[in-house]
Structure 1
Amino acid sequence: MMKVREGLKKDVEQMKLQDPNFKPGLVVLQVGDRDDSNLYISMKLKAAAEIGINATHMRLPETATEEEVLHSITEVNENSSFHGLIVQLPLDSIHKMDTEKVTNAVAPEKDVDG
């Protein structure tokens, strides 16, 4: 894992050399507040920071509807300052969610997990 991280860090540094204004952006989208998800996300954010990526933790409440989650994904898809999007599973909502529909809503060019 460390070798992969070092390689990614070098890649990001190269991109910044070519374009000093380039700041790779990552969003981790979480629905709900599960402790296991929080721990996993904090590790992802720390790893991103070490590599030189601006990571944002977008948190939606457990009352979020599928429509609200899809709307948030669309906003990230359309925002050029974000280059990657991770949807943290499970989607911890009191409402029924179609996980496949939600994860498939992520634009292919921004799909970090896919």
Structure 2
Amino acid sequence: MAVLLKGKPVVKAMGETLRCRIAELQDAGVQPTLAIVRVGDRPDDLSYERTAMKRAASLGVAVKPYVLDAQVPQDMLMSTLHSINYDKTVHGCLMFRPLPAHIDEATMCDMLAPEKDIDGISSASLSAVFTDSKVGFPPATAQACISILDHYGIPIEGKHVVVIGRSLVIGKPVAMMLLARNASVTVCHSRTENLPDITHRADIVICAAGRARAFGSEYFRAGQAVLDVGINFDDAGELCGDVDFEAVEPVVGFITPVPGGVGTVTTSVTMAHVVQAAEALR
């Protein structure tokens, strides 16, 4: 039976540290503040917004919501982001995506000032992940994976990590972040041949393919750490990850559940980035 890498203990530990840092900022007259930009009323955006606002309130991070109509002209969204960039009372910005089809999403992402791009969506922030520089912030979900490994004492340096998925949201950035921690990283995807042979050789496997229960026990071996980043719904409408948890959990050494794993930590990482941004401006 695997050790469950639950997100709740990670969130608790992060919260204790963050509350101390936030108190120090407040004592210095700085209130860490997050701007949340939502265009339209997508149910998943609304759910994430509620989660983010609840987590912010529990830590002492202020939130400024910017809610725009789904048909908002692009120049109005651009003006909103411009105002956030120059608002000295706002330290970080979280913009929900995907944006409506009539808006150039890449352009809007690049509108964000890197120092306020706390979810790593701009070209400048992503470039910093690949060059291992200190501009902006990495994507929160990628950082959440690293935070979970660190919290549970799972070594990264010198280990072989297989990342399944190559998106700019998780696959590519987490691979670069692991390389920066001296792991040997193999990035796989839907066209990778002999994938089970590759995953069997890994010490750590990060599944971020976005396919419900696509990876069963044949992909894994005893002792491995498996991080499931997938957020999917199966044919019965049940929330599940990319990993067939019931089949894989008895095989491996460590595994994150879905729900209750990586996703739980992501919002806390977002808040940590806001606090870090506020500290940088003291």
- In the superposition, the TM-score normalised over structure 2's length comes to 0.38
Query: Residue 5 of structure 1: which of 15, 31, 48 is its match?
Result: 15
What letter is aligned with 2:112?
V
Alignment of 1:52-67 (within 5 A): 52-67=60-75
Match of residue 86 from structure 2: 78
Retained in 1: the 8 A contact 2:93–2:116?
A: yes
Rg larger for: 2
- Give the TM-score taking structure 1 as reference length: 0.89
Q: Which has the higher contact order (CA 8 A, sep 6+)?
A: 1
Please list every run of 5 or more consecutive structure 2 residues that lacks an aligned counterpart in the other structure.
1-10, 121-282
Deviation at 1:12, TM superposition (A): 0.7
Higher helix share: 1
1:50 maps onto 2:58 in alignment: yes
Shift in alpha-carbon separation, 1:52–1:90, aligned structure 2, 3 A: same
Residues 79-94 of structure 1 correspond to what in structure 2 (within 5 A)?
79-91=87-99, 93=100
Who is 1:40 aligned against?
48
Task: Give the Å deviation of 1:6.
Answer: 2.4
- Which 4+ stretches in 1 moved above 2 angstroms? none
> Unpaired segments of 5 or more residues in structure 1?
none
Identity over aligned pairs, percent: 25
From 27, 32, 43, the counterpart of 1:24: 32
C-alpha RMSD of matched pairs (Å): 1.3
Counterpart check, 1:99 vs 2:105: yes
